Amino acid sequence: MTLAELNTIARKMVAKGKGILAADESTGTIKKRFDTIDVANVEENRRDYRELMFRTDEAMTKYISGVILYDETIRQKAKDGTLLVKIIAESGAIPGIKVDKGAKPLAGCPGETVTEGLDGLRERLIEYREIGARFAKWRAVIAIAGGAVPSYTAITANAHSLARYAALCQENGIVPIVEPEVLMDGDHDIDRCAEVTERTLKEVFQQVYHQRVALEGMVLKPNMAVTGKKCAKQAGVQEVAEKTLMVLKRCVPAAVPGIAFLSGGQPAEEATAHLDAMNKMGPLPWELTFSYGRALQAAPQKAWSGKPENVAKAQAAFTHRARMNGLATRGRWSADCERQTA
């Protein structure tokens, strides 16, 4: 596949008005989500829940550009026997796949992790492409704790793996989503988050260059610069938008087609407000959109609660959140939109 073709896919993933649904929760993570709505974590429930989202016509055709899937889901069939990946592709959204094997303890660095999954990745990418994936995702996790964490060791190890993953994806005709997530856990202020995010992104793009990844054929999935969850003084929407953009402008080359944020545990409406505020501050060198998991799914999950009779209600909740975030990609969202359409 040529770079022009990778670039075309990447641009479609970050097209104005649309964003990415992160539905790639591993079995352990979806259990945590299902526990909150009292739903058993069995394959049938995971399928029914995801099928209801992928069959939400309005959300999928108008506001969702791509869906990140987990290995189980990309091979799974809907209740009527149709492959879920076919339902996604027929809606016009691009199927994607999470290919990392999770964050594992990093030797010599207590409290820090490195994401694994490079062994056998080439072969897995070839298979996933055959099944229908056109993009992939790898998430690296950077913690903040006191002055010594994150360590240089953790940042460089994760940046190196992210870049090697991205190079392998491009070699196999798959657009890599590069996701270095600086966690919101902790009592740090927004400036500390901005400083760590800047340090991380600078190292990521250094490694991306060393591993010969083509910037035009990738999408960045970063955290926003936000206050730690346990910090008493939380930054407001404008400050988050300004500091996030300041960091991104310092680190992300203009050749990258787009940036699709993770929500990271932000309340759903806040994640929308932050994205909207940044897009109101344009023009920007890249498209700015969403690749939210929790901020898109918390409302439909609650509405569904595992009951077939709630499917329509859950689909309405999913459409609403997707539409709000679609507006935010254009800088056209306001709190009024939430009330008018809720």
Residues annotated as catalytic are: 179, 221
103-105 vs 113-115, strand pairing mode? antiparallel
Number of chain residues interacting with ligand 5MM (CB under 6 A): 15
Question: Is the torsion defined by CA of 324, 325, 330, 333 positive or negative?
Answer: positive
For residues 283 and 281, give the distance between their C-alpha atoms in angstroms, rounded to a whole number. 7
Select from 66, 293, 300, 326 the one that contacts ligand 5MM (CB under 6 A).
293
In angstroms, the Cα distances linking 174 to 47, 169, 252 are 25, 5, 21
The DSSP output letter for 83 is B
Three-state DSSP class for 193?
A: helix
Q: Does 25 interact with ligand 5MM (rule: CB under 6 A)?
A: yes
Of 46, 188, 294, 320, the one binding ligand 5MM by CB under 6 A: 294
Using rule CB under 6 A, residue 310 touches ligand 5MM: no
By the 8 A CB rule, do 142 and 154 touch?
Answer: yes
Is 24 or 112 the residue whose CB approaches ligand 5MM more closely? 24
Fill in the amino acid letter for 142.
I
Stretch near ligand 5MM under the rule CB under 6 A, chosen from 188-196, 239-247, 256-264, 302-310: 256-264
Contact characters 64-83, ligand 5MM, x per CB under 6 A:
----x---------------
Q: Is there binding between residue 22 and ligand 5MM (CB under 6 A)?
A: yes
CB-based contact 163:121 (threshold 8 Å):
no
Query: Segment contacting ligand 5MM (CB under 6 A): 4-12, 22-30, 84-92, 205-213?
Result: 22-30
- Number of Cβ within 10 Å of residue 27's Cβ equals 12
Bridge partners, 68 (sequence order): 22, 96
Q: Which of 167, 241, 295, 328 binds ligand 5MM (CB under 6 A)?
A: 295
Nearer to ligand 5MM, 272 or 315 (CB): 272
Could you write out the DSSP letters of every residue in 221-278? -PPP----TT-SS---HHHHHHHHHHHHHHHS-TTS-EEEE--TT--HHHHHHHHHHH
Q: Binding to ligand 5MM by residue 292, rule CB under 6 A?
A: yes
Complex with ligand 5MM: residue 266 or 319, whichever CB lies closer: 266
Among 10, 87, 262, 324, binds ligand 5MM (CB under 6 A): 262
Q: Does 322 bind ligand 5MM (CB under 6 A)?
A: no
Taking the complex as a whole, how short is the minimal distance between the CB of residue 309 and ligand 5MM, in angstroms? 26
Which residue, 139 or 160, has its beta carbon nearer to ligand 5MM? 139
Tell me whether residue 1 or residue 118 sits nearer to ligand 5MM (CB atom).
118
Task: List beta partners, residue 103.
Answer: 115
| Residue 108 backbone zone (phi > 0: left; psi -120 to 50: alpha; other: beta) | left
Interface region with ligand 5MM, contact rule CB under 6 A, candidates 4-12, 18-26, 72-80, 160-168: 18-26
Nearest to 159 by CA among 208, 117, 113: 208
Residues contributing to the site for ligand 5MM (CB under 6 A): 22, 24-26, 29, 68, 139, 181, 262-264, 292-295
